[in-house]
A and B are shown apart, each in its own frame.
Chain A
Amino acid sequence: MTRVEKGRIVLRAGWGLLWRRQRVLWWVYFISLALAFFATQPLVATIGPILNHSLAADRLYHAFDVATFIELLSRPEVKLQASAMAALLSLEFTPQTAGLAPLLLGVVFLVLMLLFLGGILKVYNEDRSLTTGEFFGAGGGYFWRFFRLLIFLLIALAPVRLINLGFGAWSDSLANRLAPPAPSVVVNLAGKLVVLFLLMAVRLWFDMAEVQTVAEDEYAMRRSIVGAGRLTWRNFGALFWIYLRPSLLAWIGTALAFWAWVRLVPHQAVVASLVLSQAVIFLWILTRFWQRSAEVLWYQQHAASPEVFVEPAPLPRESMEAPPRPEVPPAEVSL
């Protein structure tokens, strides 16, 4: 059996696991939905009084007139919200925008995902429904470990950013030296692809670290990172294939949805737009969870510690009488 075939089988099994344990998927989707709803309410409360009783709003409803939209965003009462949206898109946060609802609730969502991840991976690892207590117990148990992994991930992303800057500088340098734009453009695009590949590879590596942490109940995150790194390096082809295929599905689905939205959805069909956009968001969450479930299965099949059966030695007489020794707490792990 080739690696590709093995990967396909794991993906198929991962899909089955995803399907069986779909409750976590829906929960995450609905939490995203609810938080986004609350995040956008200040904007709605601001633009509603401007638009709801104005005939000028028709230029935004039966069409999408860019000038009218910018005029709306330029109004002093909307400007704050608009800058928040711009900040979200450009990731340029200033003290003025930092406290705004979408940003704050984004952080809340991130924290919730950190909290849920332990439970989600445990669900996949054990392929069974957890009670609420078990789920949140696992989430709480792994929270700080995953938080430390998040810090390590940000450190690991720093070289990727440097590589990105390097490609940018190379592209600029070519643009300054060569008249035809093609070489500069090619370098730029190639750089973007390389950076995308590196981002995916780093994410895959840390995915495996998270999977290993839950599977082995590992406390030492550096050990998880090193172990997962070794594992990912040795099996990169198979693992990357498992990671890539759901990603491709998400990208293609997003592109198709955008095409359908532009071509088929009339301007005033708000519900259709909402359904389509939610389908895209759901697809993103679904494919991400598919990656997770497939990674868990792959780990169980290829890397999990074998459970070695050791025949217990006969206990000495005096020890049978001795009181049980207190459980030794796990060694404290430092970053």
Chain B
Amino acid sequence: MRHGTAVVFSMSLLAMLDACGAAARGDAPAKVKLASHTATGAESQASAAGSKALSVRVVAYQIDARLDSAKKTIEATETLTYHNLTGQPLQTFPFHLYLNAFQPKSTFMTEVRGGGTRGTGSEADWDPKHYAAIEVQSLAVDGMGDLTQQMQFIQPDDHNPDDHTVFQVTLPRPVPPNADVIFRMAFHDQLPEVVERTGYKRDFFMVGQWFPKVGVWWHGAWNCHQFHATTEFFADFGTFDVKVTAPRSFILGAAGDEVSAEDNPDGTRTVAYHGEDTHDFSWTASPDFTDVEDSWIGSAGPVKIHLLMSPGHLRQTGRYLQSLKGTLGYFDHWYGVYPYDRITVVDPPEGALDAGGMEYPTLITGGANWWEPRGLRETEVVTEHEFGHQYWYGMVATNEFEEAWLDEGINSYTEVKIMAALYGQGRSLIDLWGATADDAGEQRLSYLDTPDADPLTRFAYQFMGSTSYGGTTYGKTATVLLTLEGIIGEQTLRNALHTYFERYKFTHPTGTDFLKTIEDASGQDLSWYFNQAVSGTNVLDYEVLGIRSDRADWYQKNPPPEKTGQTLYRDTVLIHRKGDFIFPTETAVRFDNGETVRERWDGRDRWVRYTYLKKAKVVSAEVDPDHKVGLDKDFFNNSQTAVAHTGATHKLETYAFFVTQLFFQLLAWLV
């Protein structure tokens, strides 16, 4: 709980090396402190009892969990105090049991088999090591007695009787408005080998979505979807007081402030955490972590950084921290204040990357490899992305089941902006051996996978497939917003996101709220754009269909020889709208006298022809010359030059030529 000592970098490095060695030797938990920035030493105590609530706290969870690291199980008790703020009596309560998704007949696994999901392709075989389960052994409600027998599994989305990811309990009598109801449960978790964000690998545990979590009363009804292959989560804000008991040699990290730690006679240690104004609680444990502590000063004060590094990855520590602090800085500056006093980053070990790249309130998981060269910024972009979710999901807590584009999509857009700010435009993702790639291009590629399959607004589990879900939710949303920059301006969109965050933090806004905020900030009616790009599946594709320069005196039998600057030409440029997305475009027409003419077209008709009578020939014509319209499906047909430039073709030919000859040599090795 301390973060005040300033340590010079070299000391940090030595400490890291020492810690690395200690970890390698299997010594006691390693802890490394990096240079910190705070001078006051004012430690922000975890417990914020009495501090002003940032959210409307609907739930208060108290969980006491014991990890059996050998059996990979958790025995726990949970007390949930639910504050009925719905304005009406509630008698039936649904709960998520996410871990039951990892069973062969579940809806989740059926969908994975059919269409794949993150890290798993379709047609994947069932692997028993990925089996998981959560069993509620008892359920009682204060004042109403034991209701264990009243629990029943429900399948609100697909009526699959074998799906046990949601259960509901009906109380003997309703809970009146503004009253509290207290549920007391005992439950048992069987963890899977790491799959879909959660589970174990050797002695590493990433424990997410592990406890019975009540649904959200939203828009006049319970919102408690089954766990699907492409869905994430949705929950109410509240407080979490969680005690985790694990072997003493384990280093723990959790989505809350550590309030106490106590060694038990049986060789275990119980660590108590408190989190508030969050809507989920996850934790991690491993004897092999090196706990790198650092801090960052934001608008709301110091933020403690806990970086739990896995063996072999310590050399990537600086990359995590650079990305995390840079991201914290840009979010704080551009979109809103980071109000929490901590952030924990878990670096999954080798073989457990499926636990990586995931967000929980105040705890994120990264993804580094020991071999990753500096020019590949995978560690950085994952860290940036997952931290971004502290805003778009963590605080602006949209419904990830129904409107995934609001968290993943907006977050992918802010990822593009921050990665470019941190690592340079055009090279924010790859800058290696002369090859470059930026995040905007990567998002666009993802969108191009299925540009016309699904609208952004579709429920996450109703997409055509996981490719369409990913391409639309992440890539298309980011590209839609990048294209929107070209309409309302980059700064206006940034202001809109800032306003959106301030308006809706610690609430559950919808897509309509988001789009309305953008219209408010820009002062424009953007429905023409949103109808096509957000709720439609229109495809945007403009092309330069032809350019032509004809001598004006073409009809003469013996015209005078052509002279630059003197011969009169009739120049024509033909632009064609190939797609069904109507979008105002700009075209730059360049002439051989150095002149450039910019033309604007509303794009409503299918084509437009520009004609000029000039003493110059057309050199080239280009739609979207400032490259603002990322949604355009085909960049190659956006321009046409009068003269062929074969440089790129010959360059790629050279590469192909070399690879082919290399292949020949490998074959010849057999002889």
Chain A interface residues toward B at CB < 8 A: 32-33, 35-37, 39-40, 43-44, 47-48, 50-58, 60-61, 63-68, 70-72, 74-75, 85, 88-89, 102, 105-107, 109-110, 113-114, 117, 146, 150, 153-154, 175-182, 184-185, 203, 262, 267-268, 270, 273-274, 277-278, 280-281, 284-285, 288
Contact = CB atoms under 8 A, between A and B. Distances in A.
B648 interface: yes
A40 B656 contact: yes
Contacts of A181: 311-312, 349-350, 370
Closest 9 CB pairs of A and B: A67-B441, A57-B648, A55-B639, A66-B437, A180-B311, A277-B658, A181-B312, A52-B644, A61-B648
B285 to A, nearest CB: 13
A281 B636 contact: no
Interface stretch (B177-185, B244-252, B502-510, B660-668): B660-668
Given A52-B645, A54-B640, A177-B202, A40 B660 contact: yes
B69 to A, nearest CB: 13
A35 B664 contact: yes
Q: Which of B311, B438, B653 has the most CB of A within 10 A?
A: B653
Contact of B654 (A74, A180, A273): A273
Contacts of B312: 180-182, 185
B648 A262 contact: no
Chief secondary structure at chain A's binding surface: helix
Interface in B347-378: 349-351, 370
A281 B654 CA distance: 13
Interface stretch (B412-420, B428-436, B531-539): B428-436
Nearest to A38: B660
Contacts of B669: 203, 288
B202 A178 contact: yes
Given A48-B646, A66-B436, A176 B202 contact: yes
Given A61-B648, A74-B448, A179-B310, A68 B639 contact: no
Q: Which of A53, A60, A68, A178 has the most CB of B within 10 A?
A: A53
Q: Which of B287, B435, B438 has the most CB of A within 10 A?
A: B435
B646 A180 contact: no
Given A33-B661, A57-B647, A180-B311, A175 B641 contact: no
B657 interface: yes
B654 A150 contact: no
Contacts of A105: 660, 664
Interface residues of B, number: 64
Nearest to A285: B665
Given A102-B660, A110-B664, 19 more contacts: A53-B641, A57-B645, A57-B649, A60-B648, A60-B652, A61-B648, A67-B437, A71-B445, A88-B660, A102-B663, A106-B660, A154-B670, A176-B202, A179-B286, A185-B312, A203-B669, A273-B654, A274-B654, A277-B654
A51 B639 CA distance: 10
A176 B310 CA distance: 14
Contacts of A117: 671
B644 A60 contact: no
A313 B644 CA distance: 82
Contacts of A65: 426, 436-437, 441
Q: Which of A55, A66, A110, A113 has the most CB of B within 10 A?
A: A55
A88 B437 CA distance: 24
A113 B669 CA distance: 10
A102 B653 CA distance: 13
Contacts of A50: 636
Contact of A40 (B350, B370, B653, B671): B653
A146 B438 contact: no
A102 B667 CA distance: 12
Contact of B664 (A58, A109, A262, A278): A109
B402 interface: no
Nearest to B312: A181
28 contacts: A36-B660, A40-B657, A43-B656, A44-B653, A53-B639, A54-B639, A55-B620, A55-B641, A56-B638, A61-B647, A66-B436, A66-B437, A67-B444, A88-B660, A89-B659, A102-B660, A109-B667, A110-B667, A114-B671, A175-B350, A176-B351, A179-B286, A180-B24, A182-B312, A185-B312, A185-B370, A273-B654, A277-B657
A67 B664 CA distance: 28
Contacts of A278: 658
Given A36-B664, A106-B663, A273 B651 contact: yes
A35 B661 CA distance: 8
A57 B370 CA distance: 35
B671 A110 contact: yes
A179 B311 contact: yes
A153 B430 CA distance: 41
Contacts of A176: 202, 351
B598 interface: no
A280 B661 CA distance: 10
B78 interface: no
Contacts of A273: 651, 654-655
Nearest to A153: B670
A185 B350 CA distance: 11
Nearest to A115: B671
B635 interface: yes
B95 interface: no
B648 A32 contact: no
A66 B663 contact: no
A37 B654 CA distance: 10
Contacts of A88: 659-660, 663
Q: Which of B430, B444, B671 has the most CB of A within 10 A?
A: B671
B442 interface: yes
